[in-house]
Amino acid sequence: MTAFSANLGFLWADLPLADAIRAAHAAGFDAVECHWPYEHDARDVRDALDETGLPMLGLNTVRGDTAAGENGLSALPGREGEARAAIDQAVEYAQQIGAGAVHVMAGFASGPAADASFVENLKYACSRAGAHGQTILIEPLNGYDAPGYFLSSTDQASDIIARVGAGNLKLMFDCYHVQLNEGDLTNRLTRLMPVIGHIQFASVPDRGTPDHGEISYAHIFEHLAALGYARPLGAEYKPKQPTHETLDWMRLF
């Protein structure tokens, strides 16, 4: 049986995070993950995780000034202080709730200065997270939903991981984003498996449930099992109805 994680940034997003964790447990998920949980008291979140026994796989660093359209800080030259404060916040919150990973968001930027900022901020993040046994994740985003995002391909991410040289820096391989930007999911998963820290999924192109669209998730999940990948896969789709009405796909895999 494939193990699944509910991404509570999209699933049960109408509920307080602690209640969303309980809903995910009742629905049969094996783990949970989230986006930006900082408005929720960490003690309440930890209590819900302890009550259900679900692990919290990860969370994101804050995006910055969302009113100005920012989507991450760590590749923005001259914003290193803010980027590292966001990393500190994420690592500390993750430590309080027992989350295993922090996704460091790069932001909208390009060029050598942005690359240098991202690499140095990732070195800082890996050092901070390593003290708590946490993994740092980086995720390429597609050019339709996030045009101009600094990290846009798995090859770019793999190169950055090699240059940072930290054992706790891994790739978040989101099948939705990778399919839209690059395709060739089966071969990319095989080649990148040594640096993959987490895998997410949604249908393409509508980012809905994984039972339709241009990706055969039956094939993808079987391929991952053949590769020996047994960690929970992150359901990060956008429900078009109340979340509990969108879960029939779980019986297919």
Specify whether the CB–CB gap between 2 and 225 falls below 8 A: yes
* Residue 139 falls in the annotated catalytic set: yes
Q: Pick the catalytic residue from 80, 82, 120, 236.
A: 236
Specify whether the CB–CB gap between 9 and 39 falls below 8 A: no
Burial class of residue 184, CB neighbours in 10 A (0-12, 13-18, 19+): exposed
Give CB contacts under 8 A, 24+ apart, made by 39-45. Answer: 40/16, 42/93, 42/96, 42/97, 43/96, 44/16, 44/17, 44/18, 45/17, 45/18, 45/21, 45/97
Q: Pick the catalytic residue from 39, 82, 92, 139.
A: 139
- Cα 162 to Cα 228: distance, rounded to the nearest angstrom: 23
Which residue stretches of the chain are H helix? 17-27, 42-52, 80-97, 112-130, 154-164, 175-181, 185-192, 217-226
* Residue 214 falls in the annotated catalytic set: no
Specify whether the CB–CB gap between 76 and 117 falls below 8 A: yes
Catalytic residues: 139, 236
